[in-house]
């Protein structure tokens, strides 16, 4: 079988080459240049926020947020167990302690369990929440696969307990609430900090790259300052803080500006393809498509099929390998972060949904270039593989 349908690949149908050539022709390839500012302005306009700092990666955006939130050695940060590990590693970069809070059926952090943890496991003196006498400083909320966490409830809890909210919107560029008190607000613009990623598998890409925003324009300026080695004076090399080399390059930004022009079309295709998958898997006995919240307009970045474990007992590895043989690239949702070696001794709080979904979710091809015929083929093969396994 020569056919190969990849999981999620970049799409360069627009002005990418033109802008990258232009950046090279002008000689601006590093951390200075007009495309960086242009990308920041485009992102701010798209997100209806007034200031965005472009940086080297989503991970850098998350780390800068941790630093700016004042997370220090010995502090506690509340984090999700079922996501990409880059959402949690910055807690360790700051020598702080993660505590894992379960997700709900959206795969995002459960506000019910977050509240219960703060209320039942911590002490609160009206100003500082403490767990085991360690200050609880922040919560990292990931908007998984373009879905959104219950931000109304989470912001409420964060306000009550004085927690900084870091939104990991690396997978949710373009997702926004359409109803309720946050109607019109985009993922990443609700908490204290919002982080985006332009890695190769995300909805837009700059090769590698990211961006960070905050609910205060001066804070974003400070994040940008930290990302450029905290340089106070460009001529005399004065540095008043410890900075980072986290600034995006002009080459990356040139790609990013072209990708931003295409983002609405990418979202439209992701949404149409998701609908097609849903129709084709409708009333399938051995698996069902997992939807997105009703009160959002989601970018529908990544697609999840929940496998019926009463019928299909085979491991994810078996399923993925069988599909690979048909030329279809799929993957399992992540291994739980709290089970990874660097995190296996950390505290977890009532994990129940996260391990449940870790065993059940298969991610399906979701590139913006995928054709209708390819989706039909994927669904046909998935049905065949799961059907064969179910019937032993």
Contacts with ligand PLP by CB under 6 A lie at: 57-59, 83-84, 86-87, 142, 168, 170-171, 197, 199, 210
Cβ of residue 59: shortest distance to ligand PLP, in angstroms? 3
Q: Which residue is nearest to ligand PLP (CB)?
A: 58
Cα distance between residue 359 and residue 80, in whole Å: 16
- Residues 6+ away with beta carbon under 8 Å from 180: 152, 295
Cβ of residue 368: shortest distance to ligand PLP, in angstroms? 17
Is the CB of residue 85 less than 8 Å from the CB of residue 127?
no
Nearest residue (CB) to ligand PLP, 190 versus 385: 190
Burial zone of 276 (CB within 10 Å; 0-12 exposed, 13-18 middle, 19+ buried): middle
Q: What are phi and psi of 175, to 5 degrees?
A: -75, 140
Is the CB of residue 157 less than 8 Å from the CB of residue 111?
yes
Q: Output b/e per residue, 71-98; b: 16+ Cβ within 10 A.
A: beeebbbbbbbbbbebbbbbbbebebbb
Nearest residue (CB) to ligand PLP, 101 versus 385: 101
Tokens of 359: 């065993």
Is the CB of residue 144 less than 8 Å from the CB of residue 107?
yes
> Which of 352, 358, 308, 298 has its CA nearest to residue 331?
358
Nearest residue (CB) to ligand PLP, 36 versus 385: 36
Nearest residue (CB) to ligand PLP, 124 versus 244: 244
Nearest residue (CB) to ligand PLP, 227 versus 381: 227
Cβ of residue 267: shortest distance to ligand PLP, in angstroms? 17
Nearest residue (CB) to ligand PLP, 53 versus 386: 53
Cβ of residue 119: shortest distance to ligand PLP, in angstroms? 27
Is the CB of residue 116 less than 8 Å from the CB of residue 153?
no
Tokens of 150: 């219950």
Cβ of residue 157: shortest distance to ligand PLP, in angstroms? 21
Burial zone of 296 (CB within 10 Å; 0-12 exposed, 13-18 middle, 19+ buried): buried
Is the CB of residue 198 less than 8 Å from the CB of residue 35?
no
Nearest residue (CB) to ligand PLP, 86 versus 258: 86
Nearest residue (CB) to ligand PLP, 84 versus 377: 84
> Which of 42, 52, 334 has its CA nearest to residue 188?
52
Cβ of residue 148: shortest distance to ligand PLP, in angstroms? 13
- Kindly state the greatest CA–CA separation across the chain: 73
Nearest residue (CB) to ligand PLP, 57 versus 368: 57
Cα distance between residue 159 and residue 326, in whole Å: 50
For helices 250-281 and 16-26, angle between their N-to-C axes, nearest 10 degrees: 170
Cβ of residue 83: shortest distance to ligand PLP, in angstroms? 5
Nearest residue (CB) to ligand PLP, 58 versus 174: 58
Strands (DSSP E) found in 254-300: 287-289, 296-297
């Amino acid at each position: 079988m020569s056919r190969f349908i990849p999981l999620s690949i970049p799409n360069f149908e627009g002005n990418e080459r033109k802008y990258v050539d232009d950046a090279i022709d002008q000689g601006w390839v590093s951390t200075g240049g007009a495309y960086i500012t242009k990308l920041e302005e485009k992102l701010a306009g798209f997100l209806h926020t007034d200031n965005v700092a472009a940086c080297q990666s989503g991970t850098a955006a998350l780390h800068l947020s941790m630093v700016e939130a004042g997370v220090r050695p010995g502090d506690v940060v509340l984090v999700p167990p079922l996501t990409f590990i880059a959402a949690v590693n910055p807690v360790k970069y700051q020598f702080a302690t993660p505590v894992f809070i379960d997700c709900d059926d959206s795969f995002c952090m459960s506000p019910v369990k977050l509240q219960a943890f703060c209320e039942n496991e911590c002490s609160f003196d009206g100003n500082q929440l403490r767990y085991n006498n360690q200050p609880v400083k922040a919560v990292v909320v990931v908007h998984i696969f373009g879905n959104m966490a219950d931000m109304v409830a989470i912001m409420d809890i964060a306000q009550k307990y004085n927690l900084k909210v870091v939104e990991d919107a690396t997978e949710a560029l373009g997702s926004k609430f359409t109803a309720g008190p946050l109607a019109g607000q985009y993922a990443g613009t609700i908490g204290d900090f919002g982080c985006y990623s332009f890695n190769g598998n995300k909805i837009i890409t700059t090769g590698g790259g990211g961006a960070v925003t905050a609910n205060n324009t001066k804070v974003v300026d400070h994040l940008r300052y930290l990302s450029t080695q905290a340089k106070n004076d460009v001529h005399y090399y004065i540095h008043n803080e410890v900075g980072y080399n986290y600034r995006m390059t002009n080459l990356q930004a040139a790609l990013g500006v072209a990708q931003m022009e295409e983002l609405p079309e990418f979202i439209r295709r992701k949404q149409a393809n998701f609908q097609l998958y849903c129709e084709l898997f409708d009333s399938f006995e051995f698996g069902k498509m997992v939807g997105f919240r009703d009160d959002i307009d989601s970018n529908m970045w990544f697609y999840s099929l929940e496998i019926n474990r009463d019928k299909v007992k085979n491991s994810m590895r078996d399923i993925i390998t069988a599909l690979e043989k048909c030329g279809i690239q799929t993957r399992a949702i992540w291994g739980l972060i709290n089970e990874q070696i660097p995190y296996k001794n950390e505290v977890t709080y009532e994990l129940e949904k996260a391990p449940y979904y870790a065993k059940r979710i298969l991610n399906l091809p979701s590139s913006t270039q995928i054709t209708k015929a390819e989706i039909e083929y994927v669904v046909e093969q998935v049905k065949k593989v799961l059907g064969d396994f179910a019937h032993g």
